[in-house]
Amino acid sequence: MSLLNHLRQSEEIHPDWQVLSDLPGLSDALALSFERPVALFKHSTRCGISAHAKYRLENDWSFTADELVFFYLDLITFRPVSNHIAETLGVVHQSPQVILLKDGKAVYDASHHRIQVAGLREAMEATR
């Protein structure tokens, strides 16, 4: 799929990703991070850079659900959840941004053009 077509379908997400839309869902993600790695992707549906980061993640996706649980957050629609992530985890808000969680804490984050599957995989290996 071309980037242009992907941008037109920007509200669709990878089938292995879960939608994060409320604070109880964030609490669940944090609790799950004690069992296995969890990533949060904060996506701005109004930003071309964010759409490109989302495209790269989806296009290069190579994780199984057992390796990494991945949550997608539309931060325009669910801004209070995005704000709570920054406050709770102590990670400065960026958009787009991916945050890797382990044991309820942020152990890695990347924003903008640094968001890549390879970066997530390296961070997961480093925190084992």
Domain edges within the chain? 3-126
d(C-alpha 68, C-alpha 75), whole Å: 21
Is the pLDDT reported for residue 63 higher than 90? yes
* Phi, psi angle pair for 107, to nearest 5°: -110, -10
Dihedral of alpha carbons 55, 22, 110, 49, sign = positive
Q: β-strands 69-74, 18-19: how paired?
A: parallel
Q: Domain 3-126: give its CATH code.
A: 3.40.30.10
Q: Give residue-wise pLDDT tens across range 31-44.
A: 999 999 999 999 99
DSSP letter assigned to residue 71: E
Question: Using 50, 70 and 90 to split pLDDT, how confident is the model at 65?
Answer: confident
What mean pLDDT is reported for the chain? Answer: 90
> The whole model's pTM is what?
0.90
Mean local confidence (pLDDT), 4-30: 80
